[in-house]
Structure 1
Amino acid sequence: MGKKTIWGRGKTMFGYSLNTLRLTNLGFVNAQKPRFSEVVRLQLSSEDTSRIIDTCKSRRNKLCGALAAAGLIAAHSTKFQCDHELKKKYGVVTLIDCRSGLEPAVSTDHFGFYQSAILDVQTIKGNENFWDLAQRIYSNFADRKKSNKHLADLSDINYLIMCKAMENPGLTTSSSLRTSFISVFEDPVFDDFSELQQVLGVECYIGCASAHGIGSSVAIFDMINRDGELDCACVYPSPLHSRAQMNELVDRMRRLLIEESD
């Protein structure tokens, strides 16, 4: 039984590795130098934020679907702007806070990593309707979450992708496994620490995690700040990707979100 389990996981790991090769990401700028995480911020005014959230609600969508759609359309238009007939597959990872599903439930203030994730693959041609794509991304995620896909695959994903890829980086392209193009959180963080910030004398802060080892090409950590403004920390692996690449991508995403919320 033990041998069967190991062999089954080995085949799955091989399958995951092959599947990641099917997905499109931004081109690598420097895959040789040591990597570290860098941040580009995507910020919207309170008016634009309110409009995009209201539009999401009216369409029974969530902000995560809109952010992912903006990222995929922006990436495809950046990389393949001269070929509007070329279809490419992109991976979207949506992270879920599992605290409320535990028995007993754990408060969101409880420190620790309680995230699970669902991977979705979208084929982008370049002429997608923004809201149709956002709805497709969110609907796929919601359906898989409803069927507990994020819990059923959790042990294999953690074991195969994280542990084994870190032990065997040569299995991945340029020794850098990009599990998806973009990762988003199901729900944004709402900043309710304004009084504490004033006491501590902190004017501005961001919350994010490292993404330069194994992860997406860009990880979106979204927050609605105390002024009602969307403030996203867009974390990427440098110098695998460059700041110029990310600035262009984030600028396109910002323009899309503003245009589609009008």
Structure 2
Amino acid sequence: MDPETQPQSDPPIDLGRAAGGTEYSWIRAVPGGTGTTVLSLLLSNPVPFPALQSALHNLHISHPILGSRLTLTSDSRFSFFIPASHVSPQILRSASSSDFHSLLELELNRNPWSDPLDSAPAEGVPVFFPTLYDLPEPGRSVLALRFHTAVCDRSSAVAILMELMGLMGGGGGGRSDPEGDKEEPSVLLAIEDLIPKKDTWKPFWVRGKDLVGYSLNGFRTSTLRFEDTGSDRSTEMVRLEMTEEETKRLLDACTARGVKLCGAIAGAALVAARSSKQIEEDRYETYSVVTLIDCRKYLEPVLNEHDVGFYHSAITNTHSVHGGEGLWEVAERCHTAYSNAMSNKKHLTDIGDLNFLMCKAIENPLLTPSSSLRTAVISVFEEPVIYRTSELQQRLGVEDYVGCASVHGVGPSIGVFDTIRDGRLDCACVYPSPLHSRKQMEDLVEHMKRILIEGSHVDEGDSAE
């Protein structure tokens, strides 16, 4: 196993809980390369190492799931076990001449969970690994926090970032739950155990019909052009960035058309993907889009962003696009499709179906085009992360940060992690390489950006490609 997975001295005790259905699907996906979540910060001020270690220790106490170890029990069930005492993560520290972007990609592809858990130590494998890279420039460094996605979705990563900066800055962790300190923190239940019963029921025949429908749609959808289907894969990242003025125009255009930003991004991706094929204009191509929904507000009890874990669900839709269509025609269809699915509560009722199909794709890559394990052209989040630089961030010297997850196992051709930072759209776009080349994805992302910018200028009723 990876040296990072060597056991700590504390034996596990029977705390924690068994993994839920969605967590199980991530546990199955991570060894193949999908589901390593990384939060990476570029720091321009020296990092007080004891303060960092103390902050991470406090995060463990506030969020016990971060201190858990993933293990396989004697009855072959995956579980999260909590050690008898809080054991702070040991921060790996190393010098590096690489830049921020390269170190982010390095972290996305470091996988301490790649070996089967049945060969792991009895104590299990930690789910959280922090690394501090010292850069050649004096005082500059990169702090990378790497999580198993089963315990940390995007909302959790943002909350951890806020709490970590608060703790390092000498303040509180930034928890917004006033009840949080009244009882000992515990490992929260899995998403399936928190969905209201009335929102989980679906007739057997309807479930079967939906499974068949999802499967058939998967067979008839198109993909981006594959560059190399035979070589070992890794995750790489390109960024889509806009100015504050460009972002404002785009958001205003979305508002005017009643389309969320995720619909515009998905629409731009589908238009750009079809354009990259250089096929006849009247020929339709059908693509799949996955929209990721933060379900915390739909659960009982309602959770907030400081409740760390994986509480997202997915909605999958297919869309046929021809060469004469522009951004807003496609974006409106993307928005309407996922909105209708949410109105029918498919983000809650279909969790088990999509988890089942995800695991089947992992077991049978031949079910996907060219055994690529691509299940969609693009995945987007229903809502962007909105963040404004604080005085605390400036004092700590946080120059840049990116949060995203690996996708080179099962997953989309491009996963978009969007942030509106100080009024500027900043998207980390991850993709499997060399299935797709960096140039191919840079060209696609640049085309998406151009479509979004040009589409933001057209009048109501017009279209732009």
* 1:208 equivalent among 404, 414, 420: 404
Assess if the C-alpha contact under 8 Å between 2:271 and 2:326 holds in 1.
Answer: no
Unaligned runs of 5+ in 2: 1-205, 458-465
Higher relative contact order (CA 8 A, sep 6+): 1
Assess if the C-alpha contact under 8 Å between 2:368 and 2:375 holds in 1.
Answer: no
Pair 146,9 (structure 1): closer, same or farther in 2 beyond 3 Å: closer
Identity among equivalent positions (%) equals: 52
Q: TM-score, normalised by structure 2?
A: 0.52
Q: Distance in 2 between matches of 1:35 and 1:10?
A: 34
Assess if the C-alpha contact under 8 Å between 2:386 and 2:421 holds in 1.
Answer: yes
Corresponding residue number in structure 2 for 1:85 = 282
Cα deviation for residue 188 of structure 1 reads: 0.3
Pair 133,172 (structure 1): closer, same or farther in 2 beyond 3 Å: closer
* 1:54 equivalent among 248, 252, 266: 252
RMSD between aligned residues: 2.3
Counterpart check, 1:158 vs 2:158: no
Pair 84,260 (structure 1): closer, same or farther in 2 beyond 3 Å: same
Pair 16,121 (structure 1): closer, same or farther in 2 beyond 3 Å: closer
Corresponding residue number in structure 2 for 1:224 = 420
Secondary structure (helix, strand or coil) at the match of 1:29 reads: coil
Q: Distance in 2 between matches of 1:169 and 1:10?
A: 22
Assess if the C-alpha contact under 8 Å between 2:327 and 2:452 holds in 1.
Answer: no
Corresponding residue number in structure 2 for 1:138 = 335
Pair 116,166 (structure 1): closer, same or farther in 2 beyond 3 Å: same
Q: Distance in 2 between matches of 1:149 and 1:16?
A: 13
Assess if the C-alpha contact under 8 Å between 1:20 and 1:178 holds in 2.
Answer: no
Secondary structure (helix, strand or coil) at the match of 1:48 reads: helix
Pair 62,9 (structure 1): closer, same or farther in 2 beyond 3 Å: closer
Counterpart check, 1:235 vs 2:433: no
Q: TM-score, normalised by structure 1?
A: 0.90
In the TM superposition, what whole-angstrom CA distance separates every residue of 1:187-242 from its partner, at most 9, and x where no partner exists? Answer: 1001245344324322111111111111111111110002x100001111111111
In the TM superposition, what whole-angstrom CA distance separates every residue of 1:102-145 from its partner, at most 9, and x where no partner exists? Answer: 11111113222111111111111111132122111101111110
Letter in 1 for 2:454: E
Pair 186,9 (structure 1): closer, same or farther in 2 beyond 3 Å: closer
Assess if the C-alpha contact under 8 Å between 1:177 and 1:215 holds in 2.
Answer: yes
Cα deviation for residue 61 of structure 1 reads: 1.2
Q: Distance in 2 between matches of 1:104 and 1:235?
A: 33
Corresponding residue number in structure 2 for 1:190 = 386
* 1:254 equivalent among 429, 432, 449: 449
More helix by share: 1
Secondary structure (helix, strand or coil) at the match of 1:235 reads: strand
Assess if the C-alpha contact under 8 Å between 1:17 and 1:171 holds in 2.
Answer: no
Q: Distance in 2 between matches of 1:130 and 1:171?
A: 31
Q: Distance in 2 between matches of 1:135 and 1:225?
A: 25
Q: Distance in 2 between matches of 1:148 and 1:56?
A: 24
Secondary structure (helix, strand or coil) at the match of 1:210 reads: strand
Specify the structure having the higher radius of gyration (Cα).
Answer: 2
